[in-house]
Amino acid sequence: MITIKDLKKAFLNALWFIFLTFPIMVMKVNTINDTLIWRWMNMLYIGVAAFVFTLLGKIYTVRKANRSEIVKPSLIQIVNSKMENKKVRYSSLAAVVAIVILYPFLMSMYQTSIMTTALMYVVLGLGLNIVVGFGGLLHLGYAAFYAVGAYTYGLLFYHFGLNFWLCLPIGAVFSALFGIILGFPILRLRGDYLAIVTLAFGEIVRLVLENWNEFSFGPSGIANIARPMIFGQKLKLAQVTNFTYFIAVGLTILTIIVIRRMESSKMGRAWEAMREDEIACQAMGIDITKAKLTAFSMGAVWAGIMGVLFAAKTTFINPASFTTWESIVILCVVVIGGMGSIPGVIAGALIFILTPEYLRAFSQYRMLIFGIALVVMMIFRPGGIIPKIRRSYQFAADKEETQEVEA
Amino acid sequence: MNLEYFFSLFLGGLTRGSIYALIALGYTMVYGIIKLINFAHGEIYMIGAFTSLIIGAALAMSGMNPILIFVLACLAAIVYSAAYGITIERLAYRPLRKAPRLSVLISAIGMSIFLQNYVLLAQTSDFLPFPLVLPNMKFLKPIEHMMTTTQFLILISTAVVMVLLTILIKFTRMGKAMRATSQDKDMAQLVGINVDRVISMTFLIGSATAALGGVLISSHIGQINFYIGFIAGIKAFVAAVLGGIGSIPGAVLGSFVLGLTESFGTGYISSDYEDAFAFIILILILIFKPAGLLGRKENEKV
Amino acid sequence: MSDAPVLEVNDLSMVFGGLRAVDNVSLNIKKGEIVALIGPNGAGKTTFFNCITGVYIPTHGEVKINTSEGSAVLNGLKPNVINEKGLARTFQNIRLFSNMTVLENVMIGRHQSLKSGILSSVLRTKKNRIEEQKVIDDSYEILRKIGLEMYVNELACNLPYGAQRRLEIARAMATNPFLLLLDEPAAGMNPQETNDLVELIERLRKEEDITILLIEHDMSLVMTLSERIYVVDYGKMIATGTPEEIKNNKEVIKAYLGEDIDA
């Protein structure tokens, strides 16, 4: 399978990458104390890695070419067909429910708090998925809506003492309005321009929060925001952590139900049609302006709600939490999980947030690996970890023929 | 009105504009050829700056002549950035040439995240003082308080690069092939143009000019870190869009407009919102003149 | 009902920079007619369609419809509003929603007929559920009529070429138009597929009470189907008449075969 020619190519690739990474990987300067460290071992690692990956790439392409005809059902399809069985479906659902309910009682407070964060990213991912996955609009300023929610609660609490529950819908509405405000100027823009304008919008929001001290208290932010309460009762820290966790669980379930229903509604179909072909979409009678604006505002709602929860969970907010990086992290969740796929986005968020927490050694490499993952995903698996499975319909007239589910 | 203050802002604006132009060229050339916003382009610029810092610092320890060090470090930056540019295109964009545009764009964002973190992990997250400083030139003495040697050098090199690039594109075989490829990739291939090579060449030239910009601005500002590519990249992109993306004279014009706006904006209005000027210009231009100052309007074929 | 033509185009022009892609074209179609618009490549036929359906705003002229609900001028309206008025079209270079299923493609055509808003679909009200079920049933019915029912759950991009062209028609029919504009419906089809298409178009006119304007290069299809033909060349209308008249028209032959036909 591997010829001398391949080995030669791998060797040349190894040399190229050694050359390419030489100054940055091998040399390390510190111009403050004028030191220069040579790290020769890195050269070896890079060479070996480039060599091995070239050969692996070769093996992959050869195997892909050979197995073209025999399509094996993927793991997801197998799981999916197992789920068709009611018994399997209900028992696995029961297991998930049990784990979710027992989690905070079995795990430490720290673990519960991490899980709450992961669930928040599930909701953020699902919200952004409306814009990116369904609508096909690459949005790089999503954290701005998250900020709108957080500052809505922070400021309303600070000035008027409004509580968490009241602010939850207010944050959602404010955020949706912001979505529409952003939506208007970009209605005419195509994919790549849209990406850069949303990015600019996100940065403008952050710059305003950072510099308009009278309004947002600048970089020092707002501290001592109240945590969520039940019936006006203040809870102990351990209790409130569990309580916040259950709020996050509740909101996640709500999000999943609502977004699933939106997806299979008139509006959801319009969003997807817009992603596929804007001109044909209009020719079919869909108002593209309305479709874009609803996609932006319905996507923003969830960021607003999560912003409120974030402010209540951490009790402190400042502009540093809402940078472009935050937007990109949420985008990674959606893209790696699977654009347009609800289970995919959930899986993406859990993997993305939990792995770095549990593999501490790995956490500093998080963004490095996810950067590469974006590239690799786009090349080898553009549908994400769990690609979207389209709904299939059955009709009395031809039951036999429509039994097969197309993925 | 203080005329001297005005002039120093003006020169500052020109300097900024020149740097944006050096970076914006790469965006606009790549966009012209493969219709991709190369999000990793800012990182190429950052890698150029870092390479020159490393090589320059290493050479400085051997006690070489500072001007020679500057030239060598500059060359190293150009060579390495060009190499990174070509490699990135090969790995992250070429396999996606037939894929939807959204996929390529995401791949570019992934590459940008990767490169930032690569430099962060392999080097440092701290700001490092930039070691390449040029001695002041004598003939600039009278206007030294308004224009430093580095600023002077930035203006000169930008002008030279622009002239060379115009010659390359207008009068050489490669330039002709580039123009053909940007018009119609399939047709260019049919008439015997090696499209892959043309695209590589575009990345090479764009990356090399960005590296030059990286070295010059770093020695002007005096310190760098792994994050400089992000903001500079976005601003240069704004400049490219402002001038009309895909148009080389447009990128230059847009860069100067942006540089001057920022310089006067921070000088006369407020320096808190320095970065916001670029974004506001971007949003305004896209609303009112989406094709940019010198760009052509693209009509989608139905 | 009056005898006024359902579609009336008066002195329509479309100018791109210095190019007059459509130059003072007038055309009218009576209810129930099948009319063809022919002409050499680049004559401005698709541009003409784009002007009528709102993709472009014509530089000059008027596009008017007369239906039982009265007359309306379509110039300057957005494509989706024009569709709402009862004009539906297909595309020359197939523009299906490729990553959606065949049924979903047709369901999108039903978009206008749906009344429920976001809130009622999120709450899954009874009205909404009934409406959704009706969309699914109606769409399936349309697919059955056009002969695509075996592909309901396939992705549109996985369909054979001929079926994709038919799906374009199905999707347009789903918007419930009185006038159907077909842009080269037979392009790239084999003779068998073309015959099926002719049969389909005739059946649609009969059963669905619809008027059809089509652009086509396949002359046998044009001659069998259409009652009247308009010929354009370089953006100008050069002839109009029945298929017989057009066949013998000198101008038309010249446009198709070149200047020196008589030489």
pLDDT at B297: 61
User: Lowest-confidence range among A279-288, B117-126, B166-175, B262-271?
Assistant: B262-271
pLDDT at B278: 84
**Does the CA dihedral B138-B143-B145-B148 come out positive or negative?**
negative
Read off the pLDDT of residues A14-25 as tens digits, 9 standing for 90 and up: 999 999 999 999
CA–chain centroid gap for A325, Å, is 12
Nearest residue of chain C to residue A276 (CA atoms): C97
pLDDT at A397: 56
pLDDT winner (highest mean) among A78-92, A310-324, B56-70, B258-272? A310-324
Nearest residue of chain B to residue A377 (CA atoms): B107
Smallest Cβ–Cβ distance between A284 and the set C109, C114, C121 belongs to C109
Task: With CB atoms and an 8 Å threshold, state whether C95 touches A280.
Answer: yes
Smallest Cβ–Cβ distance between C121 and the set A262, A277, A283 belongs to A262
Through-space distance between the first and last CA atoms of chain C, rounded to whole angstroms: 51
Is B301 part of the contact surface with chain C (CB cutoff 8 Å)?
yes
Read off the pLDDT of residues A21-56 as tens digits, 9 standing for 90 and up: 999 999 888 878 788 888 999 989 999 999 999 899
Residue A24 to residue A39: CA distance in whole angstroms: 10
For residue B298, name the pLDDT band (cuts at 50, 70, 90): low
Q: Which residues lie below 8 Å from residue C86, measured CB to CB, with a gap of 6+?
A: C65, C67, C176, C177, C178, C179
Task: With CB atoms and an 8 Å threshold, state whether A404 touches C112.
Answer: no
Q: Which residues lie below 8 Å from residue B196, measured CB to CB, with a gap of 6+?
A: B94
Residue C252 identity (one-letter amino acid): V
Is B302 part of the contact surface with chain C (CB cutoff 8 Å)?
yes
Q: Say if CB C88 and CB C173 are below 8 A apart.
A: yes
pLDDT at A121: 96
How much of chain A exceeds pLDDT 70, in percent? 94
Task: With CB atoms and an 8 Å threshold, state whether C55 touches B301.
Answer: no
Q: Say if CB A10 and CB A54 are below 8 A apart.
A: yes
pLDDT at A70: 54
pLDDT at C49: 92
Residue A287 to residue A266: CA distance in whole angstroms: 12
pLDDT at A403: 43
Residue C16 to residue A103: CA distance in whole angstroms: 65
Task: With CB atoms and an 8 Å threshold, state whether A379 touches B107.
Answer: yes
Nearest residue of chain B to residue C50 (CA atoms): B302
Mean pLDDT, residues B271-280: 80
pLDDT at B280: 84
Residue C63 to residue C45: CA distance in whole angstroms: 15
HEC string of chain B equals: CCHHHHHHHHHHHHHHHHHHHHHHHHHHHHHHHHCCCCCCHHHHHHHHHHHHHHHHHHHHHCCCCHHHHHHHHHHHHHHHHHHHHHHHHHHHHHHHCCCCHHHHHHHHHHHHHHHHHHHHHHCCCCCEECCCCCCCCHHHHHHCCCCCHHHHHHHHHHHHHHHHHHHHHHHCHHHHHHHHHHHCHHHHHHCCCCHHHHHHHHHHHHHHHHHHHHHHHHHHHCEECCCHHHHHHHHHHHHHHHHCCCCHHHHHHHHHHHHHHHHHHHHHHCCCCHHHHHHHHHHHHHHHCCCCCCCCCCCCCC
Q: Which chain B residues are Cβ-neighbours of C91 within 8 angstroms?
A: 302
Q: Which chain B residues are Cβ-neighbours of C55 within 8 angstroms?
A: 302
Q: Which chain C residues are Cβ-neighbours of B301 within 8 angstroms?
A: 93
Q: Mean pLDDT, chain B, as a whole number?
A: 87
Q: Say if CB C213 and CB C180 are below 8 A apart.
A: yes
Task: With CB atoms and an 8 Å threshold, state whether C108 touches A269.
Answer: yes
User: Judged by CB atoms within 8 Å, which residues 2-41 of B form the interface with A?
Assistant: 35-37
Is B138 part of the contact surface with chain C (CB cutoff 8 Å)?
no
Task: With CB atoms and an 8 Å threshold, state whether C50 touches B301.
Answer: no
What does DSSP say about strands C179-183 and C87-89: parallel, antiparallel, or unpaired? parallel
Q: Mean pLDDT, chain C, as a whole number?
A: 89
Read off the pLDDT of residues C58-97 as tens digits, 9 standing for 90 and up: 999 999 999 888 888 888 899 999 999 999 999 999 999 9
Task: With CB atoms and an 8 Å threshold, state whether B282 touches A16.
Answer: no
H/E segment holding residue C247: helix C243-247
pLDDT at B99: 86
H/E segment holding residue C62: strand C60-67
Nearest residue of chain B to residue C45 (CA atoms): B302
Smallest Cβ–Cβ distance between A382 and the set B84, B103, B116 belongs to B103
Instruction: Count the helix, strand and coil residues of chain C and give each as a percent rounded to the nearest 5.
Output: 45, 25, 30
Six-digit token string for A264: 């299979």
Residue C263 to residue C259: CA distance in whole angstroms: 9
User: Lowest-confidence range among A83-87, A304-308, B209-213, C23-27?
Assistant: A83-87
pLDDT at A359: 74
Which of B102, B105, B132, B207 is the best mutation test for A, with the most CBs of A within 10 A?
A: B102
Smallest Cβ–Cβ distance between A406 and the set C79, C95, C154 belongs to C154
Residue A106 has pLDDT above 90, yes or no: no
Closest among A118, A110, A120 to A149, alpha carbons compared:
A120
pLDDT at A60: 85
Task: With CB atoms and an 8 Å threshold, state whether A24 touches B122.
Answer: yes
Is A400 part of the contact surface with chain C (CB cutoff 8 Å)?
no
Domains of chain B, by residue range, sit at 15-133+142-230
Q: Which chain B residues are Cβ-neighbours of A31 within 8 angstroms?
A: 53, 57, 128-131
Read off the pLDDT of residues C203-245 as tens digits, 9 standing for 90 and up: 998 888 899 999 998 888 899 999 999 999 888 888 899 988 8
Task: With CB atoms and an 8 Å threshold, state whether A382 touches B99.
Answer: yes
Residue C236 to residue C231: CA distance in whole angstroms: 8
User: Which domains are assigned to chain C?
Assistant: 1-86+177-263 (3.40.50.300), 97-173 (no CATH)
Mean pLDDT, residues B216-234: 87
For residue A295, name the pLDDT band (cuts at 50, 70, 90): very high
Residue C157 to chain A, least CA–CA distance (Å): 11
For residue A404, name the pLDDT band (cuts at 50, 70, 90): very low
pLDDT at B204: 95
Six-digit token string for C201: 């178009």
Smallest Cβ–Cβ distance between A378 and the set B37, B107, B287 belongs to B107
Residue B99 to chain C, least CA–CA distance (Å): 13
Residue A26 to residue A20: CA distance in whole angstroms: 10
Q: Say if CB C223 and CB C216 are below 8 A apart.
A: no
Task: With CB atoms and an 8 Å threshold, state whether A269 touches C89.
Answer: no
Six-digit token string for C254: 């010249």
pLDDT at B242: 86
Residue A332 has pLDDT above 80, yes or no: yes
Size of interface A-B (CB pairs under 8 A): 166
Read off the pLDDT of residues C97-126 as tens digits, 9 standing for 90 and up: 999 999 999 999 998 888 878 888 888 888
More confident residue, A260 or B221: A260
Task: With CB atoms and an 8 Å threshold, state whether A24 touches B51.
Answer: yes
Residue B160 to residue B214: CA distance in whole angstroms: 16
Domains of chain A, by residue range, sit at 4-66, 107-380
Count of other CB atoms within 10 angstroms of residue C59: 14
Task: With CB atoms and an 8 Å threshold, state whether B54 touches A23.
Answer: yes
User: Lowest-confidence range among B92-106, B131-145, C67-81, C238-252?
Assistant: B131-145
Residue A402 has pLDDT above 50, yes or no: no
Smallest Cβ–Cβ distance between C99 and the set A258, A276, A281 belongs to A276
Which of C90, C121, C133 is the best mutation test for A, with the most CBs of A within 10 A?
A: C121
Q: Which residues lie below 8 Å from residue C154, measured CB to CB, with a gap of 6+?
A: A406, C101, C102
Q: Say if CB C169 and CB C199 are below 8 A apart.
A: no
Is B131 part of the contact surface with chain A (CB cutoff 8 Å)?
yes
Residue B230 has pLDDT above 90, yes or no: no
Mean pLDDT, residues A77-92: 79
H/E segment holding residue C143: helix C126-146
How much of chain C exceeds pLDDT 90, in percent? 53
Residue B57 has pLDDT above 70, yes or no: yes
Is B119 part of the contact surface with chain A (CB cutoff 8 Å)?
yes
Residue B223 to chain A, least CA–CA distance (Å): 10
Mean pLDDT, residues B140-152: 73
Nearest residue of chain A to residue C115 (CA atoms): A266
Q: Classify residue B8 as exposed, middle or buried by CB count within 10 Å of its CB (0-12, 13-18, 19+).
A: middle
Q: What is the ipTM of this complex?
A: 0.90
The helix/strand/coil state of C86 is coil
Six-digit token string for C22: 């459509």
H/E segment holding residue C142: helix C126-146
More confident residue, B183 or A259: A259
Q: What are phi and psi of C228, to 5 degrees?
A: -135, 150
- CB environment A325-357: b (16+ within 10 A), e (fewer): ebbbbbbbbbbbbbbbbbbbbbbbbbbbbbebb
Q: Say if CB A403 and CB A354 are below 8 A apart.
A: no
Closest among A301, A370, A298, A368 to A336, alpha carbons compared:
A370
Task: With CB atoms and an 8 Å threshold, state whether B110 touches A24.
Answer: no
CA distances, C213 to each of B275, C3, C82, C202 (Å): 55, 18, 15, 12
Q: What are phi and psi of A106, to 5 degrees?
A: -95, -25
